[in-house]
Amino acid sequence: MKEELKMIPDLSDLTCTNLMIRLKILLKKAPEDSAVECIVRRDQRDTIEVPFSRTGYNVIVHNIGNNRFQVSLKKKGERQEH
């Protein structure tokens, strides 16, 4: 695994409901100009992508392996680094 990916929390063991709750908590606690990132499964990615993109977040997804995705969430209108 790449070094930068080791610093990103792997939330793939959570249910989709618990993942959404965890992400909402992390987003609420995160500084306004920062992104929240995590590693998820395919079904979790599908659960995250549409709801967050519809509620004011930029959602960036990178496939990092078989059934593993890096997801980055950040409030729309804020600059985001890739």
In a domain, 80, yes or no: no
Token pair for 34: 């920062």
pTM score: 0.83
Q: What is the pLDDT of residue 48?
A: 95
> Where residue 36 sits, what CATH number does that domain have?
3.30.110.40
In a domain, 17, yes or no: yes
- Residue 70 belongs to what domain range? 3-75
- φ and ψ at residue 21, rounded to 5 degrees: -65, -45
With a cut of 80, say whether residue 2 has pLDDT above it. Answer: no
Is 82 domain-assigned? no
What is the rounded distance in angstroms from the CA atom of residue 66 to the CA atom of residue 53?
24
pLDDT of residue 43: 95
> Is 21 among the domain residues?
yes
Residues 6+ apart with CB under 8 A from 59: 48, 49, 52, 53, 71, 72, 73
pLDDT digits (tens, 9 = 90+) for 9-61: 999 999 999 999 999 999 999 988 899 999 999 999 999 999 999 998 999 99
**Number of domains forming the structure of the chain:** 1
Examine residue 81 and state whether it is found in any structural domain, yes or no.
no
pLDDT at position 76: 81
Answer whether residue 32 is part of any domain: yes
Own/partner pairs for 16-19, CB < 8 Å, 24+ apart? 16/43, 16/44, 16/47, 19/44, 19/47, 19/48
Task: Express each pLDDT in 33-44 by its tens digit.
Answer: 899 999 999 999
